[in-house]
A = this chain, B = another copy of it.
Amino acid sequence: MSDRLEVLRELMAAELSPASSQIAISQALEESHPSDLAFALSELDPEVASRYFSLLNNERAAEVLAELEEDTQRELISSLPVRRVANLLDELQPDDAADIYQQLPSSLRSGVLEGVEEKRAQQIRLLGAYEEESAGGIMTPQFVAVTAKETVASTLEAIRAINDLETDRVYIVDSDGRLLGVTSIQELLHQEQRRTPISTWMDSSVVSVHEDDDQEEVLRIASMYGLTTVPVVDDDERLVGIVTADDLDFVAEAEASEDMYRMAGTLAKNPTRASVPSRIFARLPMLLFTVVVGLSISWIVTALTPSDNGAPRNHPLRYLPIIIALAGNVAAVANAIVVRGLATGELEHGRLTGAFLGEFAVACGVGVIASVLTWLGITTLEADAIVLANSVSASLFLGTLVSASAGFATPAVFDRMGLDAALTGPFVIAMNDLAGTAVFVAVCSFALST
């Protein structure tokens, strides 16, 4: 951690006193880990970041670019001359190059592609034709495949020729390119019989995925068979690419996050990065459903309560569940964002305040929409219920804000204290039930008694 912050600090110090710190700049740019540099650039002012980025040679710039989040990638690339972008695409791994090419504004694409080496341009076109979240969309066409009659010596020669191979797997194919088996570079080195064909000792129980398979299926197969590199085949069982460990890790993290966010109640894939309106929109299905269920609950209570006992059928408490449910949903999502963000490192380093303000803004939006819908629901369903509808809506809005704040702050505080943020989930929800009730009953007592 200290590395990342140090790189950032040096670049910022250099920015403040440009004359004195040339050494610090070049040291930070040349010696730090590409991932630390990527972090520093993403934290700097975009203009400053792009100035530093322009100082990097192509190889290093490509390494840093591959480590950046998509939005910072886009920002940096938009500040570069077309020629530089083409050079970077040549330098990147083919799959990363294709991903970045996809992000270019369409007006630039053909110009950039003209500056790229012909082989790389073909790869980019080929990979661009796949669905983004399919095996084809995340694979790289850069792999070692030899036919079954090759020997250790000739295979090692083939490997020697390749630069930047992302895996130690060596695939064995038939004369049509159909996958037959797998071995590793180290296994090749270890073989004493350098002249026997590879087919005599390759591992022929090789598992592959189809190019159209969803990335989740690729991940499932990788985890089931303990693979760090997954071969991808086409309809004719021909090897067309490999999915490498770095992409698998990314898929695993993204899929787990997506599941957590969905389970909590938002369809946003990356809530800490998306815009507030799009995040509010991602909550609407859950919000609408909760409002309908909440209004149904009050109707059920009224319908099932016998009119002849002491308790009146129209007790305001029948609207307590809708408040608790909506506050609980808001708290659950805020909680999931912090817990997952801390676990994946997405929310490291003082990004918490910004993330909190974003989530609070989303909660305001969600609260307003839910309150208005609920108010309309109550006044439509019941006669002479304006005061009650006002009370419910006001409590709902207040409850939503309290819940979003508590749902966000509790895991952050737990984490700061060295406790597991994930433990806060059910506690936050229970506390919100309590707070929501207190707000509602207080508001009702005030509004209905005056």
Question: Which residues 326-351 in A have Cβ within 8 Å of B in the complex?
Answer: 328-329, 332, 335-336, 339-340, 343-345
Q: Please indicate which of the listed interface residues A224, A246, A293, A316 has the most CB atoms of chain B within 10 Å of its own CB.
A: A224
> In whole angstroms, how far apart are the Cα atoms of A444 and B246 in the complex?
57
Closest partner residue, chain B, to A421 (CB atom):
B259
- In whole Å, how far is A294's beta carbon from the nearest beta carbon of chain B? 8
Given A311-B315, A321-B324; A422-B263 close (CB under 8 Å): yes
Q: Is A165 an interface residue (CB 8 A)?
A: yes
Given A159-B190, A286-B427, A325-B430, 17 additional A-B pairs, CB 8 A = A162-B190, A223-B345, A226-B246, A228-B245, A245-B245, A256-B256, A256-B343, A262-B420, A293-B430, A293-B433, A297-B433, A300-B438, A305-B441, A305-B444, A309-B445, A311-B315, A312-B312
Contact B223 A344 (CB under 8 A): yes
Q: Is A189 an interface residue (CB 8 A)?
A: yes
Given A311-B315, A434-B293; A249-B263 close (CB under 8 Å): no
> In whole angstroms, how far apart are the Cα atoms of A344 and B248 in the complex?
14
Which of B205, B224, B445 is within 8 Å of A306, CB to CB? B445
- In whole Å, how far is A152's beta carbon from the nearest beta carbon of chain B? 11
Question: Which residues 74-114 in A have Cβ within 8 Å of B in the complex?
Answer: none
Secondary structure at chain A's binding surface: helix, strand, loop or mixed? Answer: helix
> In whole angstroms, how far apart are the Cα atoms of A32 and B206 in the complex?
10
> In whole angstroms, how far apart are the Cα atoms of A247 and B161 in the complex?
31
Q: Is A429 an interface residue (CB 8 A)?
A: yes
Q: Is A320 an interface residue (CB 8 A)?
A: yes
Interface 0/1 of A379-416, CB less than 8 Å to B: 00000000000000000000000000000000000000
Q: Is A220 an interface residue (CB 8 A)?
A: yes
Given A185-B185, A189-B159, A260-B259; A226-B35 close (CB under 8 Å): yes
Closest partner residue, chain B, to A424 (CB atom):
B263
Determine the chain B residues whose CB is within 8 A of the CB of A15 once the complex forms.
none
Contact A445 B304 (CB under 8 A): yes
Given A264-B426, A345-B220, A425-B265; A306-B449 close (CB under 8 Å): yes
Interface residue range, chain A: 35 or more
Determine the chain B residues whose CB is within 8 A of the CB of A252 once the complex forms.
249, 252-253, 256
Chain A residues packing against B (C-beta within 8 Å) = 3, 31-35, 67, 156, 159-163, 165, 167-168, 184-186, 189-190, 204-205, 207, 216, 220, 222-226, 228, 245-246, 248-249, 252-253, 255-256, 258-260, 262-265, 286, 289-290, 293-294, 296-297, 300-301, 304-306, 308-312, 315-318, 320-321, 324-325, 328-329, 332, 335-336, 339-340, 343-345, 420, 422-423, 425-427, 429-431, 433-434, 437-438, 441-442, 444-445, 448-449
Given A312-B310, A441-B301; A262-B422 close (CB under 8 Å): yes
> In whole angstroms, how far apart are the Cα atoms of A195 and B352 in the complex?
51
Which of B228, B260, B311, B434 is within 8 Å of A316, CB to CB? B311
Determine the chain B residues whose CB is within 8 A of the CB of A427 once the complex forms.
286, 289
Given A321-B321, A442-B304; A160-B33 close (CB under 8 Å): no
